[in-house]
Amino acid sequence: MKLILKLWSLNKHNHWLFKLGVAILLMGLAFRLFFYQSTILEPNLEDPFVDKSQVPNPPLSVDITEPPVAVDIPEPSVAVDIPNPPVAVDVAEPEDEEAPKHEVNPGKCDLFAGDWIPNPSGPIYTNASCPLIEGHQNCMRNGRPDSGYLFWRWKPRYCELPPFDPQRFLELMRNKAWALIGDSISRNHVQSLLCMLSSVEQAVEVYHDKEYKSKRWHFPSYNFTISNIWSPFLVEAAIFEDNDGVSTAEVQLQLDKLDENWTNLYQNLDYAIISTGKWFLKAAIYHEKGTVVGCHICPGKNFTEKGFVFAYEKALHYAMDFIATSKHKGLIFFRTSTPDHFDNGEWHNGGNCPKTTPAKEGEMELKDLNRILRDTELAEFEKASAKAAEKGVSLKLLDFTNLLVSRPDGHPGPYRQFYPFAKDKNATVQNDCLHWCLPGPIDYWNDVIMEMVVNS
């Protein structure tokens, strides 16, 4: 009963977690009755649940596989007729919930506390104007029939947030270098940023690694560079997965060795946004100082089940300590992981996210697992930020949880695929309720980030 051990270790510190653990354990056991496989397979990396350890990944995992060429999901030859004009008349009619305007010192305004308010002008780019949107997140092109989700903007409660100004941003970033470091949500974000900037200048891809996971773009007129560094754990990881995202073995995680894919680049950056998250839920063997110190979901391996929080705390601590003591002169953001909105199940068993409007206040609660990740992140950030301040490193938090938890309508859902219902309107298709449509809610991250950059 490794599971019990795992849950127990996960919950040594937190009694409430134990209750959650028991609930998850029961679900997990029920699950196994249906899905048990003798080979070691592990949950999809984006599976928000801890312990469906024996569930095979579906052929199309949300995230692990990267097509050899990112943007070219083949279009079926049949033209399917569900036109959806990008900036259309069918603007949703939400009630205007604009909060009363308090005149607060803008330096003190919490940009992360606010509401989504109607934005009739819609996004500044579309699937037609930006060629960099990944197929799985290109909801417009994939035939998502509703477009109301595009007509909202983020409004901090106590101050004005100027809309992202691509021209001004590029001017500010002349001769500068950014990197977005993390998992597929970072990739989602970099595409959003590149698309918003593309209304002024198209980015030129100047580098990609062998697997097309890390990339770099250059804006020639501004000598501005943006890198997207694939580093889903921030620490060194050996991942054993085939192209369908099916794992043949646990991840081998070196908790005390940072992934050089980002640390090598780090000192040359003017700005970095660093994040991690859901990959830590996967089955993994944990190493420190070259020896195994435990594992997460490794039945039959005779290692101590430590629970993912054990590894998450260590990896975050190590990464943030590196940042805090780095003497870096630029501006470093740590971004918390993002909430998912799988309803009626999870990614692999029919979970979906059919909402088409933002949630009302209090309607959406952060799921327990998302909360555990975030709490761990915030605790580690707090420790690191004190140290960073001492050492003169600019380390800031991007916590978009509130902004995103109220946007269950912002995910691709079934429209991660091209016209998923073209052949069969009752087709069963895997939903993506984790990543975000582009254009979509995470475009407004850039409004917030620009404001923080301008005022830093």
Ligand X SMILES: *[C@@H]1O[C@H](CO)[C@@H](O)[C@H](O)[C@H]1NC(C)=O
Selected catalytic residue, list 409, 432, 443, 447? 432
DSSP annotation of 135: G
Q: Extract the tokens encoding 182.
A: 């993390």
211 binds ligand X (CB under 6 A): yes
290 binds ligand X (CB under 6 A): no
Measured CA to CA, the distance from residue 235 to residue 311 in angstroms comes to 10
Nearer to ligand X, 154 or 217 (CB): 217
Nearer to ligand X, 127 or 385 (CB): 127
186 binds ligand X (CB under 6 A): no
314 binds ligand X (CB under 6 A): no
Residue type, 347: W
Selected catalytic residue, list 184, 227, 337, 385? 184
**What are the residues whose beta carbons fall under 8 Å from the beta carbon of 236, sequence distance 6 or more?**
253, 254, 257, 258, 259, 260
From residue 131, alpha-carbon distances to 1, 103, 192, 199, 262 in Å are 50, 40, 11, 11, 26
DSSP string, 221-250: TTTEEEEEEE-TTSEEEE--B-TTS-BSS-
Selected catalytic residue, list 136, 435, 443, 447? 435
205 binds ligand X (CB under 6 A): no
Measured CA to CA, the distance from residue 331 to residue 335 in angstroms comes to 13
Question: Whole-number minimum distance, CB 261 to ligand X, in Å?
Answer: 4
Q: Could you confirm whether 192 is annotated as catalytic?
A: no
Site map (CB under 6 A) of ligand X, residues 150-179, x = contact: -------------------------xxx--
47 binds ligand X (CB under 6 A): no
Measured CA to CA, the distance from residue 90 to residue 100 in angstroms comes to 27
Rule CB under 6 A: choose which of 9, 44, 188, 225 binds ligand X.
Answer: 225
120 binds ligand X (CB under 6 A): no
Strand locations in 375-441, DSSP E?
Answer: 394-398
Rule CB under 6 A: choose which of 24, 132, 197, 237 binds ligand X.
Answer: 237
Nearest to 315 by CA among 284, 280, 291: 280
Rule CB under 6 A: choose which of 191, 214, 337, 385 binds ligand X.
Answer: 214
Rule CB under 6 A: choose which of 65, 84, 119, 325 binds ligand X.
Answer: 84
Q: Extract the tokens encoding 334.
A: 């740590």
Question: Whole-number minimum distance, CB 124 to ligand X, in Å?
Answer: 15
Query: Is the N-terminal amide bond of 86 cis, ω within 30° of 0?
Result: no
Rule CB under 6 A: choose which of 128, 290, 392, 428 binds ligand X.
Answer: 128
356 binds ligand X (CB under 6 A): no
Sign of the dihedral defined by the CA atoms of residues 25, 26, 31, 32, in that order = positive
Q: For residue 287, what are the β-bridge partners?
A: 254, 292
79 binds ligand X (CB under 6 A): no
77 binds ligand X (CB under 6 A): no
Nearest to 47 by CA among 273, 282, 256, 294: 282
Q: Could you confirm whether 96 is annotated as catalytic?
A: no
Site for ligand X in 366-385 (CB under 6 A): none
Rule CB under 6 A: choose which of 236, 241, 340, 432 binds ligand X.
Answer: 236
Q: Could you confirm whether 432 is annotated as catalytic?
A: yes
Bridge pairing between strands 224-230 and 177-182: parallel
Helix (H, G, I), strand (E, B) or coil at 151: coil
Which residues contribute to the site for ligand X (CB under 6 A)?
Answer: 83-84, 86, 127-128, 140-141, 175-177, 209, 211, 213-214, 223, 225, 230, 236-237, 259, 261, 302, 424-426
Known catalytic residues are 184, 432, 435
